[in-house]
């Protein structure tokens, strides 16, 4: 049984935690030192009255997560099993969907335990751990999956750092080892995924509804530029939706073979499309110089990126990125502007869009917008958890 230590919450934050805020912040932990990762914490107010119970686990977002507001609730195997079972029950419609067999089954704090996620890929479960603190509950999570599910195998990725590096390993935990790539389906489209490589697997599941919308409503007859294209998932959906041609641009060398693979597993001729390994910012300048224009430009940059000549931060630089896109988008063309930055909300994001068009002397209309799909469960007390913002913009 783990012991608990009491941590006094600064009085100005007490109501926030009483209201259900789940992230234990640096301010809360300032008076406490030398904690072991995974240590259970009871948050109390200045008069030592109980507020909530959680664990210490340092990750880029904060210093741990609240687990319960019930003083007498034990944080044990049954606690984890209850939470994971409730999450699995909520996703039953996904398990029954014959066109999609890759989705999220446990979304951290949105499903009641911050610090880890579980994704499902056609019979395989993949756990992402974001701190040593949550990883200390490894046995509870694995036992829960063994008790609650039938699986081909369980894999994991440790996304926390050791000696300044992400912990890279094969990731196998239990079951029958996968033969990679594993082919999964999303809205009838194939993806090749890998659990035994770097932190990412080959597809970002949170963009499912956006990809389907591009294929079903916007791609037909258009030329499409997909920037920061990673493995070319947007390009594949655009091509299957009848795009005349797609151009995928990404700085990473791996993006070329990975994109070829995603086209190939869908029976598409990748040679009919352009796959370019280049800095996106260089490519914009090249496109302007060559007077290239596209009917659709997809912008899905990382929140932060660095190349030899450019550093990109979504909060500071998205407006300028949009201006680059506007300059090479045809009249009546579509810009799909996407960000996964949790540091600003949709209102501020739309402000970037408005400023970019104003400074480009262009007019626009917003035709659709998206946030996280329903398997990426969030809670209203933690708005930062609903990080995805996608806006379909029509250039007038």
- Asked if residue 341 lies in contact with residue 314, where contact means CB atoms within 8 angstroms, the answer is yes
Domain ranges of the chain: 4-68, 77-193, 205-395
DSSP H helices in the chain: 14-18, 26-29, 77-90, 92-95, 132-135, 138-148, 208-213, 233-240, 255-264, 280-289, 314-327, 346-359
pTM here is 0.96
Per-residue pLDDT in tens (0 to 9) along the chain, 396 residues: 688 999 999 999 999 999 999 999 999 999 888 899 999 999 999 999 999 999 999 998 899 999 999 999 999 999 999 999 999 999 999 999 999 999 999 999 999 999 999 999 999 999 999 999 999 999 999 999 999 999 999 999 999 876 656 666 789 999 999 999 999 999 999 999 999 987 789 999 999 999 999 999 999 999 999 999 999 999 999 999 999 999 999 999 999 999 999 999 999 999 999 999 999 999 999 999 999 999 999 999 988 877 777 788 888 999 999 999 999 999 999 999 999 999 999 999 999 999 999 999 999 999 999 999 999 999 999 999 999 999 999 999
Report d(CA 91, CA 376) in Å as an integer: 10
pLDDT at 167 (0 to 100): 66
CATH architecture of 205-395: 3-Layer(aba) Sandwich (3.40)
Residue with tokens 């949170």: 206
Residues with Cβ within 8 Å of 284's Cβ and at least 6 positions away in sequence, in order, are 324, 325, 327, 328
pLDDT at residue number 111: 98
In this structure, what token pair is assigned to residue 87? Answer: 């999450």
Query: How many H-runs (helices) and E-runs (strands) does the chain carry?
Result: 12, 21
User: Which CATH architecture fits 4-68?
Assistant: Roll (2.30)
Pick the CATH number of 77-193 from 1.10.620.20, 3.30.750.80, 3.40.30.10, 3.40.50.300: 3.30.750.80
Classified as helix, coil or strand, 218 is helix
Pairing relationship of beta strands 40-44 and 64-68 according to DSSP bridges: unpaired
Q: What's the number of CA atoms in the CB half-sphere (13 Å) around residue 110?
A: 21
């Amino acid at each position: 049984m783990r012991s608990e230590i009491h941590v006094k919450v600064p009085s100005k934050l007490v109501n926030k935690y009483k209201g259900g805020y789940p992230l234990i912040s640096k301010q809360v932990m300032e008076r406490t030192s030398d904690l072991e990762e995974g240590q259970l914490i009871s948050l109390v107010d200045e008069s030592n009255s109980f507020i909530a119970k959680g664990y210490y686990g340092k990750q880029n977002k904060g210093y741990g997560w609240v687990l319960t507001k019930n003083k007498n609730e034990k944080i044990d195997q049954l606690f984890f099993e209850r939470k994971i079972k409730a999450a699995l029950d909520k996703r039953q419609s996904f398990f029954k969907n014959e066109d999609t067999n890759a989705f999220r089954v446990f979304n951290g704090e949105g499903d009641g335990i911050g610090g880890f996620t579980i994704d499902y890929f056609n019979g395989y479960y993949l756990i992402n751990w974001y701190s040593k603190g949550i990883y200390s509950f490894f046995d509870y999570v694995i036992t829960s999956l063994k008790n609650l599910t039938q699986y081909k195998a369980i894999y994991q990725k440790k996304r926390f750092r050791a000696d300044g590096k992400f912990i890279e390993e094969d990731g196998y935990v239990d079951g029958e080892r996968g033969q990679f790539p594993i082919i999964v389906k999303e809205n009838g489209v194939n993806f090749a995924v890998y659990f035994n490589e770097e932190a990412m697997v080959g597809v970002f599941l949170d963009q499912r509804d956006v990809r389907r919308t591009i294929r079903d409503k916007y791609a037909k007859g258009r030329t499409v530029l997909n920037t920061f294209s990673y493995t070319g998932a947007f390009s594949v959906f655009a091509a299957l939706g009848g795009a005349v041609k797609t151009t995928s641009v990404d700085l990473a060398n791996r993006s070329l073979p990975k994109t070829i693979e995603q086209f190939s597993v869908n029976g598409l001729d990748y040679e009919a499309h352009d796959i370019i390994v280049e800095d996106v910012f260089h490519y914009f300048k090249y496109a302007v110089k060559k007077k290239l224009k596209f009917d659709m430009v997809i912008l899905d940059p990382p929140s932060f990126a660095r190349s030899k000549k450019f550093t990109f931060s979504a909060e500071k630089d998205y407006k300028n990125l949009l201006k680059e896109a506007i300059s090479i988008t045809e009249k009546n063309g579509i810009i799909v502007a996407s960000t996964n930055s949790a540091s600003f909300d949709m209102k501020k994001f739309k402000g970037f869009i408005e400023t970019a068009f104003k400074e480009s002397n262009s007019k626009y209309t917003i035709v659709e917008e998206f946030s996280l799909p329903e398997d990426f469960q969030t809670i209203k007390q933690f708005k930062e958890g609903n990080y995805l913002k996608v806006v379909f913009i029509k250039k007038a």
